[in-house]
Structure 1
Amino acid sequence: MKIPIKWMYVGLIISLAILPSCSNMMDSASLPTGQTSTKTQPAANQAAAGSTDPNQESGDPNDAIDQPSKKKLEISSSKDSKDSKDSKDSNKAAKKQEEPAFDPQNPKLVGIALSESKSKVTNKLGKPSDQYTMDDVDEPIEVYEYNGFSVGFNVSNMVEFIEVYQKEVATGIRGIRINQHADQVIKALGKPDRETDYVISYNAKDALLKLDVDPMTHLLQSIKLFQVTKAE
């Protein structure tokens, strides 16, 4: 039986339409469960390839950090820094408040009064780094050396003088330190009872506060508090 040519064309077209579907079904059947053939998902793959991550395009690993978290961390760091600064300022203020103003009625230097005994001083300051006796005075004075200052005791074992000569030492008098300018000293202590290019002094009860000044730089070189029966 002779088949008309037009029916042959129709059969060919139908075969071409059916074959790709059969091929896809065979590929899907041959894959493990849960997987699909890449031949059936060209559009999905193209969409996935066309979609890019802005963070990946930048190439900067820091861009991958969650921005709100990053801002929160920056704010926290800034707050910690501010708290640390405030704490330091508070410590400085507290340190200044620990030192009282000079009291002529109860004069002290490095927290030591002239009425204190040797045993009381050593209880406060500990063992001296050195000690010696001054024999070139009316009465021998036993001197205890500490770091940056010294304390002298008379024959009654009472404090005869206290002297500070290093800037690292807290004088115990508010606003006064070795190496300060003479103008700062006067501002802190008020008008002196005596003032020269070499010495600034203040009278106190049975005592004298004497401050030695460098005449060239006008900087404070030493501070000495000692007993007197009358102001010198």
Structure 2
Amino acid sequence: MRPIILGFVPVAFASLVVAGCEKSSAPSPQPTIDSAISIQTPSTSPSASPTVITVESPLPSAPAEDTPAKHEAQVANTNKTDLSDLPQSSASAKPTTKPKVKAEDVYQQEKPTLMGLKLGTSKDVVLERFGKAKKQFVMDEDDDAIQVYDFGDFSVGFNMKNALEFVDVHSTDIDPGLRGLHLGQSVQEAIDILGKPDANTTYVLSYKSQGTLLKIDVDPNENTIQSIKLFADR
């Protein structure tokens, strides 16, 4: 009986070994992976390390997130101009224009004028032409008080009968209607344009015509025109 037992055990052991080799040599199935992920297989043993499977093929990079910082940078680089803080002009506002003297109203010896106005013109006609004055006051130096209307670049005065008594130009920004002569020009230019004056001093050039006096005040240091006045020659 003993020889039979010894012969049987080796044969059975050999069969088991062969079967185990064949089973272990069979390729284990690989999981199908569609994207770059790591698969961790939890182990029942606390000390065992998880099995990690890594796929080396790179996946397409995800688009960068639109973070607040990126959005602010994009806005800062735009060319849009914010006009909300700028003053807006009214659609009904009209630009201020300087009055112009018509060609037929310029100064002439036979028709002395200043700003195209002839002495004796009624106040209503003058105000209709030039509009509302910036300042208004009364000169009480004479018995015949003068009402003065100041338009900024020039002023006019009316007597008690509301007739034009004088015109006074005191700004370089306006054309007084003297054939191109303006304040700030030289005395010689005034003479070239208006001709020889009736009086010529260091301070004044005077032209008399038709009962009027055109007075041109001169700066003696600069030898330039400072103001121009037209009033009655009394």
- TM-score, normalising length: structure 1: 0.55
Question: 1:34-89, CA deviations, whole angstroms, 9 ceiling, x for partnerless residues?
Answer: xxxxxxxxxxxxxxxxxxxxxxxxxxxxxxxxxxxxxxxxxxxxxxxxxxxxxxxx
**Larger radius of gyration between Structure 1 and Structure 2:** 2
Structure 1 gaps, min length 5 = 1-94
Going from structure 1 to structure 2, the CA distance change for 1:140 and 1:100 (only over 3 Å counts) comes to closer
Q: Which amino acid aligns with 1:164?
A: V
Q: How far does residue 173 in structure 1 lie from its aligned partner after superposition?
A: 1.3
1:173 corresponds, among 154, 160, 178, to 178
Residue 150 of structure 2: aligned partner: 145
Which among 107, 122, 127 is matched to residue 102 of structure 1?
Answer: 107
Alpha-carbon distance in 2 for matches of 1:177, 1:158: 26
Candidates 130, 133, 136, aligned match of 1:131 = 136
| Secondary structure, aligned partner of 1:202 | strand
Matched, 1:111 2:136: no
Aligned residues: 135
2:126 aligned counterpart, secondary structure: helix
Name segments (4+ residues, structure 1) moved above 3 Å: 95-101
Q: Which amino acid aligns with 2:132?
A: K
Structure 1 residues 181 and 100: CA distance shift in structure 2, 3 A? farther
State whether residues 114 and 160 of structure 1, in contact with CA within 8 Å, keep that contact through their aligned partners in structure 2: yes
1:218 corresponding residue in structure 2: 223
Q: In structure 2, what residue type is equivalent to 1:218?
A: N
TM-score under structure 2 length normalisation: 0.55
Percent of counterpart pairs with the same letter? Answer: 41
Higher helix fraction: Structure 1 or Structure 2?
1
Choose which of 201, 211, 214 in structure 2 pairs with 1:206: 211
Q: Counterpart of 2:158 in structure 1: which amino acid?
A: F
Unaligned residue ranges in structure 2 (runs of 5+): 1-99
Q: Within 5 Å, which residues of 2 pair with 1:47-58? A: none
